[in-house]
Amino acid sequence: MYSGGNMITQVFLNGIIEGLLLAALGLGFSIVYNSTRVFHVALGAIYTLAPYLLMFGLKINLGWPVSLIISLTICVIISLICHEFLHWPLERQKAPTEVHLIASLGMYIVLIQIIVIIWGNNSFVLRSGIDQVHSFANLQMTSAQIYAVISVLLLFLAFFVIFQTTNIGLHFKAMSDNPTLVSLLGKNVLLLRRLVFFFSAIIIAITSILSAIDIGFEPYGGLYSILLGAIVTITAGRNSYFAVLVTGIVLGLLRAFVIWFGSAEWEEALMFVLLALILFFRPNGLFAQKYRAEEVG
């Protein structure tokens, strides 16, 4: 049995775990959105597809490592196809962001219908049996939650190292403001855009698999998950990916305590009310910061 204090601490822990997954969604979405201004809705289909591909690999006895690699590889290929055949041609034609959004939404719908045709509408879970529960100082975490925490922290650490030891992060930010100038400075804009879509697919697919191990998966949850990632991205602004991590954790805690003190019915409403307030008072995000184009050199 939980005492009142232990229960609140458990809710706090659950909020942090959920917040880390939200932060990972935000990281995957923000890499594309902050770099190319593309509202990459098709990431929702990639989020949906990743655990199905992993499940298929496991069913034909390929094992976890091979199945995971195949799942991530196919997700990356689909993301790059979205770029090469949708967003890059539209970018070359100077299409407005609304056209990118509609094209990406169309790709999402097509991919989801293919998933439903192949696997049906049923829900699945990647683990077999009941997940093992671990106790730490009267707090409880499942094995899936432990995997999620470690994996998300490693993801952010990897990107922190990449962006601190290279200029990729600055190139991504500058590409959003003035891709022509970035090209004139000798940077390969097409390659940078491909890297953006590559990284986003990897992150979203991993996040989806982590969630699928814990709570399962079904065909229609991807779009909502990507919208949550968009909320984290817009709330954090363009300052840094560390801001995305902090924002995700804060939103996760808010969601957890809204459920604890109120009702799960208010959980989603809170997210969109917060988004509306932030767009009104801080349209560039809570951690917004301007960058000069010459910083990319």
pLDDT of 181 over the 50 cut = yes
pLDDT of 218 over the 90 cut = yes
Domain positions in the chain = 4-296
Q: Sort 170 into a burial class: Cβ within 10 Å, 0-12 / 13-18 / 19+.
A: middle
What pLDDT does residue 128 have?
A: 75
pLDDT of 2 over the 70 cut = no
Which alpha helices (DSSP H) does the chain contain, by range?
Answer: 4-36, 43-59, 64-82, 88-92, 97-119, 143-165, 168-177, 179-184, 189-215, 222-236, 241-261, 265-281
Band of residue 3 on the pLDDT scale cut at 50, 70, 90: low
Least confident residue range of 135-149, 173-187, 250-264: 173-187
Give the torsion sign (CA, 65, 66, 72, 73): positive
Residue pair 24/155 in contact by the 8 Å Cβ criterion: yes
Band of residue 289 on the pLDDT scale cut at 50, 70, 90: low
Inter-axis angle of helices 222-236 and 97-119, nearest 10? 150
Distance CA(161)–CA(267), nearest Å, equals: 34
pLDDT of 250 over the 80 cut = yes
pLDDT of 145 over the 90 cut = yes
Record the tokens describing residue 6, joined without a space.
């232990």
Residue pair 9/136 in contact by the 8 Å Cβ criterion: no
Q: What is the mean pLDDT of residues 161-188?
A: 79
Distance CA(110)–CA(285), nearest Å, equals: 32
Q: Which of 215, 252, 216, 277 is nearest to 26 (CA)?
A: 252
pLDDT of 25 over the 90 cut = yes
What pLDDT does residue 179 have?
A: 78
Distance CA(209)–CA(213), nearest Å, equals: 6
Rounded to 5 degrees, what are φ and ψ at 134?
-115, 140
- Identity of the highest mean pLDDT range in 98-112, 226-240, 265-279: 98-112
Conformational region of residue 37, where left means phi above 0, alpha means psi within -120 to 50, and beta covers everything else: left
Least confident residue range of 53-57, 89-93, 147-151, 286-290: 286-290
What pLDDT does residue 172 have?
A: 82
In the chain, the N- to C-terminal Cα span, in Å, equals 59
Q: What is the mean pLDDT of residues 204-209?
A: 97
> 185 vs 51, which has greater pLDDT?
51
Note the CATH number of domain 4-296.
1.10.3470
